[in-house]
Structure 1
Amino acid sequence: MKGNPFVRYAAALIAGVLLYVQLPDCLIIPLAALLVGGGLLIWGFARNTGKVVKSIHAAPGIGGLLILLALGWATTYQRTAINQPDNIAHLTDTLRAYEGVVATQPEERAKTFRVELNIRRGKWRSRDADEWQPLSGRVIVYLDKAGSPVPHYGEVWLVAGPPRPIDPPLNPGEFDYKRYLSYRNIYHQQYLRTFGRTVLAIDPPSRITNLATIVNRWADSVFTHQVGTRAEYGLVNAMILGVRDDLDTELYRAYSAAGAVHILSVSGLHVGILFTVMTLLLGLLPKRPRGEIMIAVLKLTILWFYALITGFSPPVLRSAAMFSILIIATASGRQQQLANTLGASAFFILCFDPYALFSAGFQLSYLAVVGIGMWQSALYQSVTFRYKWANWLWKLTAVALVAQLITFPLGVFYFHQFPTYFLLANPIVIGMSELLLPLAMATLAFSWIPYVNDGLGWLLQKTAWLLNYAVTQTGQLPGAAWDGLWLSQAAMMLTYAVIFCGAALLLTRNRTYLWATCTSAILLAGVTIWSDYQQAHQQRLAVHFLPHRTAVSLTNGYHSLLITDLDSNDTRSFDFYLKNTFGQWGVSDLAITNANRNVESADSLQPTSVHHQTRDYALWVWQGKTLLLVNKLNGPNPWRLPAVVDYLIIRRNALREWNQLNGRVVARHIIFDDSNKTPLTDKLLAEAKVSGITCFSVRQMGAYVAELE
């Protein structure tokens, strides 16, 4: 640490960022840190004033770190858009219309274009119709593709109607999309038809970003012409331009199962591969006076040109900044240390964007580089081979081993899966990427030369095909991925404690690390055993939030029955809204039954049975509890139940007036799922509040979860 000052600076800045995120309203701590830090600095300088030999004291260093902590807090405060008084999050009136500019390159989805708008001004319903007021904020707009041309960066839109706040997660374990977007200062979204917006002008907010989008579109046109075939074009577009719109779903799943999905998003890995290939190729040039400076300029040019064609993707910008510092340090003849270089890049990135700290890509990239820098060399040198090709393959395998070891707890924490054949897939993927990336850059560079561009395009297409083939075959192997894994935050931290202490024990043979490793392993085992015990003895009834659908689960131990009307082909909705819930609960046996069909029993959850089912309702008896799903109350069949039911679930707008339940059914708990129309549910909830009726809406309150004894 003594020779790595930027590691300390970055750590102090990170502490300030975390302090703001945890205590955004606690101004006293950063102010105290600033005052104490400034006092220590002044005291340290005063003690050395007039001395020929300057004495070294820890106090000024501590003071500087305290000032950086305050800087981290202040920078995060300043970069948080909701702190601006004119931000859309503070509106109390309803917007009638607003004006915004397209601030990023639009993404094409199956039925919509996803666009991010920077709001400039707005009109309120309660004010004069022609009065515009300053307004700020960023909104995600999903524009219906039917009849809509492709939006472009810099378009100024007049949008009718107000955007709505982004919903928090409404199911246990569901991905917190609201928090994820808040780190990007986005708090609202809106769905628009073509007639809901008008393009007023073209006014790009950034000339550099506008240039990047133009270059990105040009590169896309080159790849479209040179590569041609959809699967290979989709891979090249994803790897080079960061656009995954043309990737086939099955191909994406194959990359995910093979543990190579990271290659489909432009990231630090791509910049690292490009940097490695550039260093190798430029190292073959003859040595000349001032050659280091010329090579450094060439490396920086290629590096930032790649960042340009990706549209200045944030992960690429972070990695380009890190490698730029490395290139400049090498060219200037300064002694460089990986830890200090990483610390410097993290410091400057977080000064510009403090919320990058909470990006999974940022965390995984820095962890991987730290692990490779610390352990890859020792692992690689532990085994040698006679043949160069074998050594090259072992080097790639060592990189994959170390990177996977240090990132797998965080990867499981975020993505809940582990690729079984990563040792087989990653050396192939990295090796092929070292060919594909330079070929893609060469294809762009020589796209204006006839015949040469065709030859490079052919090579690029064949390389992409070979990479797709290798990954697809690996992903189809039996047991290619362990899915549904779940690590709590405590378990993840203890896993990292075992990894780091174990690695330190192997490298130093220090007995202290042995005790630390054993203690961490015992604590991890205790946390895991307690979690397994709770899951084995759980009995739970849940009514989940599923947009415009019914989803009711009955969970007993590791087994669960899901009663739903979700289309079996709609895996996207299940994965986003429900998959993490069952993963968090440790469900290994999930049976699914259709809520609209007559099902006599569910063997996996005995004693579970459908006591009676008609078109109007279904009565389930489970663990001594009665569950009534009502589809219709106003039909020609005036059915009634003689006994009190425990859980009454209203579906498909069955209840329109509360008096429809009179004489038909009495329930201890009444729940509205999201297959009901929201305005109708809101009306019934308001009436229930006045009448003193206790009821629950999953749209307003999130999933209803009942723990059964």
Structure 2
Amino acid sequence: MKGLPFIRYVVAFMAGIVLYDQLPDFYQLPLIAFLVGSGLLLSGLFHNWGKVVKPVQIKSGVGALLILLALGWGIIWQRTASNCPDNIIHLTDTLRAYEGVVAAQPESRAKTFRVELELRRGKVGRSNQPGRSEIPHWQSLSGRVIVYLNKANQPMPRYGEVWLVTGAPRPIDPPLNPGEFNYKRYLSYRNIYHQQYLRPFQRHILGIEPPSRITQLATFVNRWADSTFIQQIGSRPEFGIVNAMILGVRDDLDTELYRAYSASGAVHILSVSGLHVGILFNVLTFLLGFLAKRPRGKLLMAGLQLAILWFYALVTGFSPPVLRSAGMFTLLILARALGRPQQLMNTLGASTFFILCFDPYALFSAGFQLSCLAVGGIVSWESSLYQSVTFPNKWVDKLWKLTVVALVAQLITFPLGVFYFHQFPTYFLLANPVVMMLSGVLLPLAMAALGLSWVPYVNDWLGLLLQKVAWLLNYVVTQTGELPGATWDGLWLSPVAMLLTYAFIMSAVTLVLTRSKLYVWASCITAALLAGVNLWDEHQQLNQQKLAVHFLPHRTAVSLTDGHKSTLVSDLDSNDTRSFDFYLKNTFGQWGISDLARADVRTATLSNVPAYYRTNEYALWVWKGRTLLLVNKLTTSNWRLPAVVDYLIIRRNALRNWNQLNGRVVARHIIFDDSNKTPLTDKLLAEAKERSIACYSVRQMGAYVTELE
């Protein structure tokens, strides 16, 4: 990586960040790295002091990288809110009320407003611990809380509002099903550990004190742009796509339209990100290119580019992905204006380094990872692939260039995309070049529509043109998404398989570019290892036999899995795809289920289960030599089972006290699903502990999964 120093720096810095994430309590490791690095750096400098011709300073280089590793560890430790002693996560007294300020732009959901509150102080009361004060008092408190405020005819909260909230937030739940999205970890990377659902009467607005005037301005501009687009565009589908692409707001985006973008491989266009900044940068470079030939034209061109790019960042409400990309392109624009040599990979490394200094947890963001990979892949491979085929026709050549960009970006990001989102768009090469071309028209057109919104007639024509371009973009995406087999869904990559996939891609691409025999062997070895990992996973899935009682809020969900087939018995409405996708879809994807049958626990019989008996009070079935009893009621009749059952599943508050089971049923395993009320389940669990009864609650312990041999 000669000539790319920031690539080395940022890799060492990221290593320190990852080290803290994996081993936060082993502070000795960064301390040792800092001491050893300082020793090597000073030793190398002293050894070469006074030499006219200095050799390659390996010691000093390694020492500097070790110091950067320690620096990465130290910065993320300093940026971790839980390390502050007054953070809410350390509170042991009972929190009765707290004061906080709206610290980010609120989001509108179907029934609630999602608000991020920055805590200032809290009113704490009596604690169960001896020695604690019993008189409620106010004390300093820090941290952030996600608050879901019931709309109930309430106006949208404003950035900077100071709230007095009664009640206490609760810690965010960890994932309770295998493979479920880890929302707790996602929010912890934003230093948020608690959430609370509020009724309007639980909060009082004390005033407005914006934490940042710049953010307040960005929020105001974002709202102004939203109202401007409403007046200019009018129709909801087109307004929804413009709002998502320009402002990062998806509230007005239809669910079916979003699925079409996902199926066509163009869903990335709906999230304001580095791609949008890159498109805007390229369009501006093309439109303002004539200035570069004039005296001081480069400086004027750079000034206009920076003004428009940062105006776009302001319009998005200073969205973090846009800020990161705007920072990278700012370095690139300044380098061009000052006539400095441009190394795009080094610029990417420099911008990534400074971004991580400010926000080290950005490293764990899927958007940040995908953006960096896409830009790095395009910078490294796009030129070689583009030049491998030439077309005499100018427009065909431009289409080929867009296709190459889409191909390289998809190639470098698809393993990570499959790892996070478990799907692959089959027709991405068909849709993405057109989507990028139309986006290249829509983005600057939207900026012009905002900038000239005060000019009569011109704003109407720009709004009409913007609406037509958005309609055409939606039409192309919708038609592509409706093609047969548009989405390859249900994919799953383990971390090891993902890393091996990247190793194979890197080896294969390097082989094509260098024709070196070394990379033939590297490609073959990584391909063999990847095949071995996949075959082993396939073998385990083919022979699996699982019984699972899943966590599904306030519902029942039991699955019987044999190989790649599974039967899900639940009371989940078949139209409630959102709950299934969030809580259960990833579980079956992780298990490699290709044939999922669904049955309603209230009405259906299980035709594929050898022995099954159902009444209004209970359902009994035998599967793989195990007996499963699912109890609905214990109060209306005196039914009893003469034999011991293997698994007793309690649902719908059927069990009120443990004496109800006496003389009725004996079970080896007792499981409470989440259709039972939480206070009742907690009471029964406490009594079970006193009586030495072994039982399990999916609400408290997560999904109950057992392997049947």
**Structure 2: how far apart are the matches of 1:541 and 1:250?**
34
219-228 vs 38-47, greater mean Cα deviation? 38-47
Deviation string for 1:504-559 (max 9, x for gaps)? 11111111100010000001001111111111111100000001010000001111
Pairing 1:123–2:127 present: no
| Partner of residue 152, structure 2 | 146
The amino acid of 1:340's aligned partner reads: N
Pairing 1:77–2:77 present: yes
| Partner of residue 627, structure 1 | 628
3-state secondary structure, aligned to 1:101: strand
The amino acid of 2:607's aligned partner reads: A
The CA deviation at 1:55 is 4.9
> Mapping of 1:382-461 within 5 angstroms?
382-461=388-467
**Structure 1: how far apart are the matches of 2:550 and 2:421?**
21
1:132 to 123, 129, 138: 138
| Partner of residue 253, structure 2 | 247
2:226 to 220, 223, 226: 220
**Structure 1: how far apart are the matches of 2:170 and 2:256?**
33
Contact 1:617/1:629 (<8 A) preserved: yes
3-state secondary structure, aligned to 1:621: strand
| Partner of residue 691, structure 1 | 691
- Superposition CA RMSD, Å: 1.2
> Mapping of 1:113-262 within 5 angstroms?
113-126=113-126, 127=133, 131-262=137-268
**Structure 2: how far apart are the matches of 1:82 and 1:545?**
28
> Mapping of 1:456-495 within 5 angstroms?
456-495=462-501
Contact 2:97/2:168 (<8 A) preserved: yes
**Structure 2: how far apart are the matches of 1:591 and 1:692?**
37
The CA deviation at 1:27 is 1.4
Deviation string for 1:298-321 (max 9, x for gaps)? 111111110011001010011111
**Structure 1: how far apart are the matches of 2:417 and 2:167?**
40
Pairing 1:25–2:25 present: yes
**Structure 1: how far apart are the matches of 2:134 and 2:116?**
28
3-state secondary structure, aligned to 2:616: coil
**Structure 2: how far apart are the matches of 1:528 and 1:578?**
23
The amino acid of 1:663's aligned partner reads: G
1:373 to 361, 367, 379: 379
The CA deviation at 1:53 is 4.7
The CA deviation at 1:149 is 1.6
Contact 1:268/1:316 (<8 A) preserved: yes
**Structure 2: how far apart are the matches of 1:110 and 1:31?**
49
The CA deviation at 1:641 is 1.1
Contact 1:610/1:618 (<8 A) preserved: no
The CA deviation at 1:611 is 2.2
TM-score, length-scaled by structure 1: 0.98
3-state secondary structure, aligned to 1:284: helix
Deviation string for 1:671-707 (max 9, x for gaps)? 0000000010000000000001000000000000010
1:296 to 295, 302, 311: 302
**Structure 2: how far apart are the matches of 1:361 and 1:440?**
23
The CA deviation at 1:615 is 1.4
**Structure 2: how far apart are the matches of 1:563 and 1:639?**
23
3-state secondary structure, aligned to 2:137: coil
| Partner of residue 95, structure 1 | 95
| Partner of residue 577, structure 1 | 583
> Mapping of 1:667-682 within 5 angstroms?
667-682=667-682
The CA deviation at 1:286 is 6.7
Contact 1:173/1:584 (<8 A) preserved: yes
| Partner of residue 613, structure 2 | 612
**Structure 2: how far apart are the matches of 1:124 and 1:602?**
57
**Structure 1: how far apart are the matches of 2:306 and 2:605?**
68
Deviation string for 1:615-668 (max 9, x for gaps)? 111112211211111111011x21111111111100010001000011111111
The amino acid of 1:600's aligned partner reads: T
122-131 vs 244-253, greater mean Cα deviation? 122-131
Contact 1:651/1:675 (<8 A) preserved: yes
Contact 1:123/1:129 (<8 A) preserved: no
Pairing 1:44–2:50 present: no
Deviation string for 1:467-514 (max 9, x for gaps)? 001101110111110111000011111111111000111111111100
The CA deviation at 1:57 is 2.2
The CA deviation at 1:564 is 0.5
The CA deviation at 1:46 is 2.9
3-state secondary structure, aligned to 1:190: strand
3-state secondary structure, aligned to 1:132: strand
| Partner of residue 707, structure 1 | 707
Structure 1 residue runs of 5 or longer lacking an equivalent are none
The amino acid of 1:86's aligned partner reads: D
The amino acid of 2:531's aligned partner reads: A
The CA deviation at 1:45 is 3.2
The amino acid of 2:665's aligned partner reads: V
Pairing 1:264–2:270 present: yes
The CA deviation at 1:52 is 4.8
| Partner of residue 313, structure 2 | 307
Contact 2:292/2:301 (<8 A) preserved: no
| Partner of residue 362, structure 2 | 356
Pairing 1:600–2:600 present: no
3-state secondary structure, aligned to 1:266: coil
How many percent identity over aligned positions? 73
Contact 2:557/2:568 (<8 A) preserved: yes
The CA deviation at 1:287 is 2.3
Contact 1:147/1:194 (<8 A) preserved: no
The CA deviation at 1:132 is 1.2
**Structure 1: how far apart are the matches of 2:487 and 2:414?**
13
Structure 2 residue runs of 5 or longer lacking an equivalent are 127-132
> Mapping of 1:521-600 within 5 angstroms?
521-597=527-603, 599-600=604-605
**Structure 2: how far apart are the matches of 1:584 and 1:520?**
23
3-state secondary structure, aligned to 2:627: strand
**Structure 2: how far apart are the matches of 1:591 and 1:366?**
40
The amino acid of 1:244's aligned partner reads: R
> Mapping of 1:499-538 within 5 angstroms?
499-538=505-544
1:343 to 344, 349, 352: 349
**Structure 1: how far apart are the matches of 2:370 and 2:456?**
41
Distance 1:33 1:541, change over 3 A: same
The CA deviation at 1:435 is 0.5
Deviation string for 1:355-406 (max 9, x for gaps)? 1111111111111111111211111112122211111111111111111111
**Structure 1: how far apart are the matches of 2:292 and 2:372?**
34
Deviation string for 1:90-125 (max 9, x for gaps)? 111120000011111111111111111001100112
3-state secondary structure, aligned to 2:290: coil
Deviation string for 1:139-176 (max 9, x for gaps)? 00011011322111101111111100011111011111
**Structure 1: how far apart are the matches of 2:558 and 2:606?**
15
3-state secondary structure, aligned to 2:145: strand
The CA deviation at 1:50 is 4.5
**Structure 1: how far apart are the matches of 2:55 and 2:509?**
37
TM-score, length-scaled by structure 2: 0.98
**Structure 2: how far apart are the matches of 1:631 and 1:414?**
37
Paired residues in the alignment total: 703
| Partner of residue 57, structure 2 | 57
